[in-house]
């Protein structure tokens, strides 16, 4: 349902009905694509994923949440909650400090990741 490239082009992320975001390395010593992290924290389908950097990724889900992750550790950094329905999409600002999310609850929300 969603996919995205890291700014360096060395990582790609994807996810969907499995409720998780899988991150792959495109640059391995063996030359093969390799799973480097599976981020499992949503209770609904993954609707969107975007890298903030090669170290952080933001995901949204049918569970009405947006989650910010540390890619290296696989740990959840922060949960951004406030929608009453599926979060269908989001768009990051160029500096990746804020984003706007859109939900099937007919609302959009502006978030500041620094808070």
Strands (E), 52-97: 56-61, 65-70, 76-81, 87-92
pLDDT in tens, 25-59: 998 777 788 999 999 999 999 999 999 999 999 99
pLDDT at 110: 97
pLDDT at 44: 97
Say how many C-beta atoms besides its own lie within 10 A of residue 7's C-beta.
Answer: 11
Indicate the Cα dihedral angle 56, 95, 61, 70, nearest 10°.
10
Model confidence at 60, pLDDT cuts 50, 70, 90, reads very high
Structure tokens at 33: 């694509």
pTM for this entry: 0.94
């Amino acid at each position: 349902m969603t996919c995205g490239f890291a700014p360096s082009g060395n990582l790609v992320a994807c996810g969907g009905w499995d409720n998780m975001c899988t991150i792959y390395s495109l640059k391995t010593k063996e030359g093969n694509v390799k799973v480097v992290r599976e981020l499992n924290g949503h209770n609904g389908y993954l609707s969107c994923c975007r890298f903030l950097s090669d170290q952080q990724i933001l995901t949204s889900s049918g569970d009405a949440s947006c989650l910010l992750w540390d890619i290296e550790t696989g740990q959840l950094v922060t949960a951004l909650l406030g929608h009453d329905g599926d979060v269908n999409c989001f768009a990051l600002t160029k500096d990746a400090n804020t984003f706007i999310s859109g939900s099937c609850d007919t609302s959009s929300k502006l978030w500041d990741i620094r808070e």
